[in-house]
Structure 1
Amino acid sequence: MFPRDFAWGAGTAAYQIEGGWQADGKGASIWDTFCHERGRVCGEQSGDVACNSYQLWEKDLQCIRQLGLTHYRLSLSWARLLPHGTTPHVNQKGVQYYNQVIDDLLACGVTPMVTLYHFDLPQALQDQGGWKCPGMADIFDCYAKFCFQTFGDRVKLWITINEPYVCAKLGHEDGIHAPGLKEEAGIAAYLVGHNMLRAHAMAWHTYNSLYRAKQGGALSLAINSDWLEPLDACCPEDVAATERYLAFTLGWFAWPVFVTGDYPETMRSAIDARSKKLGYEGTSRLPSFSKDEPAILGTADFFALNYYTSRKVKPGEGGGGEMSLSMKSDRDVTEVLDPSWPIPGVSWLAVVPHGLRKLLKYIKDTFNDPAVYITENGFSQVGPLQIEDVQRSEFYRDTLMEVARAIQEDGVKVRGYFAWSLLDNFEWADGFSVRFGLYHVDFADAKLSRTAYRSGREYAQMISKSKSKSNGESS
């Protein structure tokens, strides 16, 4: 059902699993700071210890091997490598840790996919303005160059930035993710997203000109998107609202990289119209790309997609009734959950496997038929945990069936699938109250024991069967 060289993976992120937040010279990140402020995270929890993967990496590797993964997605802690965020001071202990992880993976026949930035900016750089500062793009490029030089001889799949939408909106508009800012609603998030796109493009051009010929890798950025469709497909207003919402989410980052080198016109016109209505004077709140900087268009070697859920869409009510600037009022839509979609875990995550297939087809048709890696997709548990997680097992079976159909019937070039996540981990503002792992982690146990959920065991069986069929076809 899947191509012979299909990437079977699972993913993690440094802050969510590593712990060791002050170990061996690591610097503080914005998530360290955020979690240590009261009232920010469920239960006043933090990633100070998390799964303690910094010390228990061999246990993680054992889980990876038990699953039979061909690929493993991890992120580098920028502050563990460069405590101050810049290259004059390199933490060699951090370099040694990631060298061991990469080398161990390769020795087991597992290909690493490495994310340079997964939400955890060094606090030292936040103190200088963080992602709102245009100079962050150059600093990120220097960090990326350091990582290419240090690990690029072995890493062939790179993600520059994970979910810039989430970083921008949740961190700089809603204030519910680090760095927890919300004072400049309708302005800061667009600036952050803009600087992240600039940073990504610079890093891609650096790799392309200095490292690609020798290292032979591929780069992209991981873009998250729900599948969105009109509440009433026959209603022009619902159709227009859906197109607008897609422009503000998926299009915000995919359109510049894959289509035009600029933001979707639907997005810019909505922002400018809202500004005019509210009497906002000045240049567009959505920045413009400079012709003097590296081009944005074409700076992805594949499409990296994080998908979790779907929504029906209809127009908002006059900007949500808000008489102030905000992203919510700019996009002016209302999300509707189809009552037939089950919600077994966190409230925002309706389980809609067929939405992934529709989204994959949309990406093929809209973004010039790229190769696609599904870099995150998962199912949450809350409340009493079930090791025999039948619903999640069914979710993975149903989802992978939809992915197979997207490949076989729709012709989408899906190259791999990464389940989120390998382990139960620190789930950002939800702390440890939400579990996504293929392996249960007992956070009450000093040894942080890992136990395979039923979904993990069945995912391993699906991988094994796929490999067997592929080997049979090739023999």
Structure 2
Amino acid sequence: MERYGTYGKLNSNEFPGDFLLGTATASYQIEGAWNLSGKGENIWDRYTHTHPELILDRSTGDVACDSYHKYEEDVALMKKMGVQFYRFSLSWSRILPTGFAYQINPDGIRYYNDLINLLLKNDIIPLVTLFHWDTPQPLEDLGGFTNALMVEWFEDYARVVFENFGDRVKLWLTFNEPKQTCHEGVGGDNKAPGYESSGIGDYLCAHNLIKAHARAYHLYDKEFRPKQNGSISITIDTSWMEPGTNSTADKEAAERKIAFNFGWYADPIFHPNGDYPEVMRKLVPERSKKEGFRRSRLPEFTKEEVKYIRGTFDFLGLNHYTTLLVKDIPEIPISGKPSVDKDSRTESWHDPSWPPSSAGWLKVVPWGFTKLLVWLKHRYGDVPIYVTENGFSDLGEIDDQGRVNYYKLYLSAMLDAMYEHKVNVKAYAAWSLVDNFEWRDGYVNRFGLHHVDMNDPGRKRTPKASAEYYRKVIAARKIHGID
């Protein structure tokens, strides 16, 4: 199997002059202040409070890094590293406590105004995500993204956001990682709300979420872009899917896996033809019929919807961490509950020789990053790519050489794609600025460039070795540590 790049040779090219280097966080993971200053309840508040046993250390995001009160210190950390942009998300429930736009929380507006203004004062570009998994609980009680009315409710929320912050924010993301919201949160139980409705609920969730993205894009494009002159898109995550063997069956399985993993959300927006990947439109109806369903479990877009959704991007947001090996499963018995995994007819795993992180799902496979970026160019054309998350987990070490090594290898792999394969990557955000609430992992697995003492009421921040390493990379505009 072809491998791009090597572990021993780092790319010595400089980042282009217009390339942006930054870092990222998400509201629920860092803000805390879960019920202060008018904020409403969201699904992660409910999930962690009612099912503490599902969180590895039984923790919550109630206080988290307390960034609601310590945002000035966080901006100072970024300034010291020299980052050019900060990708953060807004808490829908902090802005609209009920989820609906009839009630706007002035303290929520004030908090994000203060953060945005301070970033700009420090020459840090805000890249703002409207939604990072934290659906307002009152809307979830009405079905969340399985309810088609969420398309309208999200558009209402987006309007409030653009009206209040769009004069200063010029880079927008509608959604972060729809796969986690829909496939893992609705289809599975690995994320809130944990409905375990794979093969039905996750398809319905994704269908409405993609339409909500398009509505927000067209709203911005028509009513706000003429005056605010910003850019807007969506961030989608995926591992690279490498064939388990050189067999034709496994090569096709790897393509199928990335179609069901990434193309599901990306093709309707970024592919020249729009709509869901052809393989999904073929396999899901076939299996649905065999299972006894009267119609496909995969909803269909109308021709008008395909046209409305297609092209609703100014760049492609990408989150990437690791690689999987994939093999073909030619026949899956028609029994039990339906699922997306059964529909895709694939099985995936890690090569045991790949270097590990503290999280079982994350192995260090930098050449997979290069291959993914090249694949994106071939599938979607020369679209500008913003890498909005990439990072490494450990157990909280201050001298985090594993993370330093990960950044060296992955930044090199990204430069390989840019210089050797002419992939149009425009920005890179290291995940994450600070150790934070890592969803089901609680505070066990850490991704931060800065250590946060979760036992300290003041949530003391301490720079790690990776923060200093990243500072040197940003200052030199090239990978630090090349002999």
Work out whether the TM-score is over 0.5.
Answer: yes
| Counterpart check, 1:18 vs 2:28 | no
| Counterpart check, 1:268 vs 2:281 | yes
Query: Which amino acid in structure 2 is aligned with residue 211 of structure 1?
Result: F
| Counterpart check, 1:366 vs 2:374 | no
In the other structure, the counterpart of 2:312 is: 299
- Could you tell me which of 417, 421, 437 is aligned with 2:428? 417
Contact 2:145–2:205, Cα closer than 8 Å, also in 1 = yes
In structure 2, the CA distance between the partners of 1:230 and 1:108, relative to structure 1 (3 Å rule), is: same
State the 1:248 CA deviation.
0.2
- SS of residue matched to 1:342: coil
Which runs of structure 2 are paired with 1:162-311 in the superposition (5 Å)?
A: 162-182=176-196, 184-233=197-246, 235-259=247-271, 260-280=273-293, 282-293=294-305, 295-311=308-324
In the other structure, the counterpart of 1:341 is: 354
- Could you tell me which of 398, 401, 405 is aligned with 2:416? 405
| Counterpart check, 1:435 vs 2:446 | yes
In the other structure, the counterpart of 1:319 is: 332
- SS of residue matched to 2:266: helix
What do the CA deviations read for 1:93-133 (whole angstroms, capped 9, x no partner)?
00000000000000000000000000001101111111100
Contact 1:319–1:333, Cα closer than 8 Å, also in 2 = no
- SS of residue matched to 2:309: coil
- Identical counterparts, % of pairs: 44
- Could you tell me which of 110, 114, 117 is aligned with 2:128? 114
Query: Which amino acid in structure 1 is aligned with residue 60 of structure 2?
Result: S
State the 1:324 CA deviation.
2.7
Query: Which amino acid in structure 1 is aligned with residue 351 of structure 2?
Result: D
In the other structure, the counterpart of 1:44 is: 58
Query: Which amino acid in structure 1 is aligned with residue 217 of structure 2?
Result: W
TM-score, normalised to structure 1's length? 0.95
In the other structure, the counterpart of 1:126 is: 140
Distance 2:400 2:334 in 1: 41
Contact 1:320–1:332, Cα closer than 8 Å, also in 2 = no
State the 1:322 CA deviation.
5.1
In the other structure, the counterpart of 1:463 is: 474
- SS of residue matched to 1:23: coil
Query: Which amino acid in structure 1 is aligned with residue 84 of structure 2?
Result: T
State the 1:213 CA deviation.
1.3
State the 1:59 CA deviation.
1.2
In structure 2, the CA distance between the partners of 1:322 and 1:44, relative to structure 1 (3 Å rule), is: farther
| Counterpart check, 1:54 vs 2:68 | yes
Distance 1:240 1:45 in 2: 41
Distance 2:366 2:430 in 1: 13
Distance 2:341 2:388 in 1: 27
Contact 2:408–2:479, Cα closer than 8 Å, also in 1 = no
Which runs of structure 2 are paired with 1:143-162 in the superposition (5 Å)?
A: 143-162=157-176
Distance 1:284 1:65 in 2: 51
What do the CA deviations read for 1:393-413 (whole angstroms, capped 9, x no partner)?
011111111111211111011
In the other structure, the counterpart of 1:472 is: none
- SS of residue matched to 2:129: strand
In the other structure, the counterpart of 1:387 is: 398
Query: Which amino acid in structure 2 is aligned with residue 465 of structure 1?
Result: A
Query: Which amino acid in structure 2 is aligned with residue 301 of structure 1?
Result: D
Distance 2:217 2:320 in 1: 23
**Which stretches in structure 2 are left out of the alignment for 5+ residues?**
1-13
In structure 2, the CA distance between the partners of 1:170 and 1:198, relative to structure 1 (3 Å rule), is: same
Contact 1:157–1:219, Cα closer than 8 Å, also in 2 = yes
Contact 2:289–2:296, Cα closer than 8 Å, also in 1 = no
Query: Which amino acid in structure 1 is aligned with residue 391 of structure 2?
Result: G
State the 1:279 CA deviation.
2.2
In the other structure, the counterpart of 2:83 is: 69
Say what the alpha-carbon RMSD is for the aligned residues. Answer: 1.5
- SS of residue matched to 2:351: coil
Distance 1:431 1:152 in 2: 33
What do the CA deviations read for 1:302-361 (whole angstroms, capped 9, x no partner)?
010000110111013633885431112111211131233111210010111111111111
What do the CA deviations read for 1:366-408 (whole angstroms, capped 9, x no partner)?
10111000000000013xx321111110111111111112111
Query: Which deviates more from structure 2 when the two are superposed, residues 168-177 or residues 418-427?
Result: 168-177
Distance 1:321 1:350 in 2: 33
Query: Which amino acid in structure 2 is aligned with residue 439 of structure 1?
Result: H
Contact 2:285–2:295, Cα closer than 8 Å, also in 1 = no
In structure 2, the CA distance between the partners of 1:467 and 1:70, relative to structure 1 (3 Å rule), is: farther
In structure 2, the CA distance between the partners of 1:237 and 1:126, relative to structure 1 (3 Å rule), is: same
State the 1:33 CA deviation.
0.3
In structure 2, the CA distance between the partners of 1:81 and 1:320, relative to structure 1 (3 Å rule), is: farther
In structure 2, the CA distance between the partners of 1:137 and 1:44, relative to structure 1 (3 Å rule), is: same
- SS of residue matched to 2:388: strand
Distance 1:92 1:336 in 2: 47
Distance 1:4 1:373 in 2: 15
Q: How many residues align?
A: 464
Query: Which amino acid in structure 2 is aligned with residue 288 of structure 1?
Result: E
State the 1:174 CA deviation.
1.1
Contact 1:320–1:328, Cα closer than 8 Å, also in 2 = no
Distance 2:335 2:318 in 1: 32
Distance 1:155 1:24 in 2: 23
State the 1:292 CA deviation.
4.9
Query: Which amino acid in structure 1 is aligned with residue 289 of structure 2?
Result: K
